[in-house]
Structure 1
């Protein structure tokens, strides 16, 4: 019984060590960001279908083109001394009232705003919000990033805008990143990728 208990405790300890092990990447074996909260969609507009409006030649069902019947003079019977007027031909099919359905354009994808996962780095949390319209990333906003100390503020004052521009230009989280701001870069891009995954976005 003691052997079984010892074996179970050893296995449990090994699992705890494996789960608590933090992967390393980047320069000098830096610790990767850890997910604190998952990505989620925060706003999505309804699908939009554009229409060019009703056909100007169409008329409501069961009605004819409006005619001011009171202004039409009654036809007189021709006298014997005048030749009868030649009968008018029937109106062509092109002048008959037509009904048609208003043409519509294809449905366009509505913009969606997604908050990426909150990634905990060695210096603090990083979270990004991404707005996507159709197949285009239209906006990238940093909701949280390390800015507690003077050094953090100095680095991220240029790193965050640079990362935003890189993602918008590449339309992807697969970008070069910012040298000297590796922790912020890791958290930022991981949060962006989680937002793109939540929205089902593929470049």
Structure 2
């Protein structure tokens, strides 16, 4: 049995995800969202999409994957989707998850395995999570009139490249994405290059 003080210490370790700011603005663009808010929103959106698309997935596993997918950002912070250091982010995040999994107050024995599953995207749950995880910042950019894209000088070609995998995974979502991408370009929220 894990002592209560160890459990509460671990809960406070997880609370640090609230301190990790992303470069995505919340709907309407009033402020940047933090990774804890994103994880909750992702879990809700995954639940919604899995139900709507009638995907044969374990809802419990899908929501667990969504809730833990950004835990690795607690130590290194969030790596912006279009950052040149993006390829090294998984290794830094895995170190953090390993640290959290070994915490004396962690009672979630499959924490590392679940994080690896969502990172590798092999299961149906992880594949859907990856699509929805990419969709949410795009949606927030639409509602904030491209504020994060404008802040960082992001172009249409960068957004297309980052979202290309959705075409095979979820063609209907990809069609919606392309339509709204053109709207973003025509409104001047993205550079047309």
* TM-score tier (shorter): under 0.3
What's the TM-score, normalizing by structure 1?
A: 0.27
TM-score, normalization: structure 2? 0.28
Larger helix proportion of the pair: 2
More strand by share: 1
Q: Which protein shows a greater Rg?
A: 1
